[in-house]
Amino acid sequence: MALFGIVGAGLMGHGIAVALARAGHHTRLHDPDPAALADLHDRVEKALELTGTSGPASAAVQDLVSATSDLDSALRQADVVVEAVPERMAVKHEVMASVEAVVPAHVPIWSNTSVLSITGIGAGMRHPERLVGVHWWNPPHLIPLVEIAPGDATNPRLVHEAEELILSLGKTAVRLQRDVPGFIGNRLQFALVREALHLLDEGVCDAQTLDTVVRTSFGLRLAAVGPMENADYIGLDLTRSILANLAPHLSTATESFPALDKLLTDGHRGRATRQGLLTWTDHRAIDVAGRLVDGIRRNLAATEAAVR
């Protein structure tokens, strides 16, 4: 079993630790924020409950998770380093420099960046050949998919080894041939968000209606049948003709998202400020948290069947 040094013990760092420790790997987390370390084991416990792990099995996982505010002791003996710090290039560069000062050149570093370029992160490194994009989805202890991408300088052997390790956890690993911002999943996800915002800006419907349309139509089948399989299923001639008529009307916005920008200018950030695209009551916040987990669990069986 390997020892993983995890830099950043936030939402993703602790979930990645749970996914690794459940497979028997040792994990040592580092975070400069004492608050992130103080409740780490409580958060790990909650994550384990979600996976249905309890009693002695849960205690065994907890034993494999440790935390320290000292970067050196978290990483000194690590076989692999996992970076899960905030999504800003300057922070990634700063953290990579600190990590490289501690770990020998042969130790691979996995970045969990969502949308930053792996090549761009590697550009600030002494040994960019050891950097692999290994993108987990939230919550990492439940969601099967992990996307793996090389930067321009990445050693292909380390990409292969990352894939093998992720597969050995029982996860679904997909490999990108090259580094693109957003990997695959976030590109698809935010193409949908961009078009939804476009429909709002065009006054076609309100935000609640957009969610209703997705949840009661193609959202129902996405976990069972992917868009490529569906395109073949309905026929590529039909798919081509729909695109010929529709593509010219779809958003290609890259800078301006008026409805979203106005909300942000007015201080509305969504759930945290109780107003965003929708109005957030305490009840909605609790309800959404529950539906997120229940929905993922329900769809897991369908997803597993679909990728077989």
Ligand X SMILES: NC(=O)c1ccc[n+]([C@@H]2O[C@H](COP(=O)([O-])OP(=O)(O)OC[C@H]3O[C@@H](n4cnc5c(N)ncnc54)[C@H](O)[C@@H]3O)[C@@H](O)[C@H]2O)c1
Task: Provide the binding-site residues for ligand X, judged by CB under 6 A.
Answer: 7-13, 30-33, 36, 84-87, 91, 95, 112-114, 135-138
Chain length of the chain: 308
- To ligand X, the closest distance from the beta carbon of 302 in angstroms equals 22
CA distances from 26 to 30, 80, 165, 260 (A): 13, 11, 14, 42
Give the bridge partners for 145, in sequence order: 172
C-alpha to C-alpha distance for 16 and 2, rounded to whole angstroms: 14
Q: Which amino acid is at 133?
A: G
Q: What minimum distance in Å lies between the beta carbon of 10 and ligand X?
A: 2
Q: Is the peptide bond before 144 cis (omega within 30 degrees of 0)?
A: no
Min dist. Cβ of residue 80 to ligand X (A) = 16
Residue 7 or 197 having the CB closest to ligand X: 7
- Using the minimum distance from each CB to ligand X, give the nearer residue, 165 or 198: 165
DSSP state of 225: S
Cβ-proximal residue to ligand X, closest one:
10
Measured from the CB atom, the residue of 35 and 247 that comes closer to ligand X is: 35
Of the candidates 3, 13, 16, the residue with the CA atom closest to the CA atom of residue 171: 16
Taking the complex as a whole, the smallest distance from the CB of residue 101 to ligand X amounts, in Å, to 13
Q: How far apart are CA 34 and CA 68, in angstroms?
A: 9
* Structural element, H or E, at residue 9: none
Complex with ligand X: residue 135 or 171, whichever CB lies closer:
135
Nearer to ligand X, 120 or 230 (CB): 120
With beta carbons less than 8 A apart as the criterion, state whether 103 and 5 touch. Answer: yes
Q: Which is nearer to ligand X, 85 or 198 (CB)?
A: 85
Q: Which two tokens stand for residue 299?
A: 């769809």
Taking the complex as a whole, how short is the minimal distance between the CB of residue 146 and ligand X, in angstroms? Answer: 10
Token pair in block for residue 87: 């999504």
CB of residue 245 to ligand X, shortest distance in Å: 35
